[in-house]
Chains A and B, each alone.
Chain A
């Protein structure tokens, strides 16, 4: 199975400051069709996961433009340009390239 490793696992951030989460895969996430199926999710307390970013860098409808995704191959990053109070929660990366889907361990973002 492809192992997804996120860092940090805990991320205290001051309101208005940027935040960055790293996600590394144990194998390349480039699919044979040329796409890279790396998604990012936000899970607020008590809620279902919400997809923020798909195929590395495509923001979902309704997701604020302060969220951005980047990366390639095995190394990916989710960035929040200016953290707001509503961004508190756990963030997960997920790979859908390989036959068995895998998630990262999650990164808990909290306000400092």
Chain B
């Protein structure tokens, strides 16, 4: 089955860290860039960042709101993409989705809550 499954969300204090995972199946993961997109409760979609494939040197790009705090990586041997989130702020509270390069395939999302 072609799918993406996010995991790793939870409650974390401001200033803390969390690492999300996105497990892919049913397509050639290694050849696809992967995006992370987030959505705060009742708000719109916000692109977080992207990692390209090995053929594109695993190049990454980030939204200004997370640059320097978040890092996207991937392990093609595990068909998994990651989002390392450091120095978390209350405004990072959101459902985090991963999506494939073409944005035709999305996971179910994982909720991150940053609160004391």
Which of B's residues lie within 8 Å of A, judged by CB? 35, 37, 44-47, 50, 61, 63-64, 97, 99, 102-104, 106-109
User: Do A92 and B45 have beta carbons less than 8 Å apart?
Assistant: yes
Q: Does A15 reach chain B (CB closer than 8 Å)?
A: no
Which residues of A59-112 have CB atoms within 8 Å of chain B's CB atoms?
60, 90, 92, 94, 96, 99-106
Q: Say how far B39's CB is from chain A's closest CB, in angstroms.
A: 8
- B106: contacting residue among A39, A50, A54, A92, CB under 8 A: A50
By beta carbon, the residue of chain B nearest A104 is B44
Residues of A within 8 A of B47 (CB): 94, 100-103
Which of A's residues lie within 8 Å of B, judged by CB? 1, 39, 41, 43, 48-51, 54, 60, 90, 92, 94, 96, 99-106
Answer whether A49 and B45 are a contact pair too, CB < 8 Å, given A1-B64, A101-B50. yes
User: Do A48 and B63 have beta carbons less than 8 Å apart?
Assistant: no
User: Do A39 and B44 have beta carbons less than 8 Å apart?
Assistant: no
Residues of A within 8 A of B103 (CB): 39, 41, 51, 54, 94, 96
Residues of B within 8 A of A100 (CB): 47, 61, 63
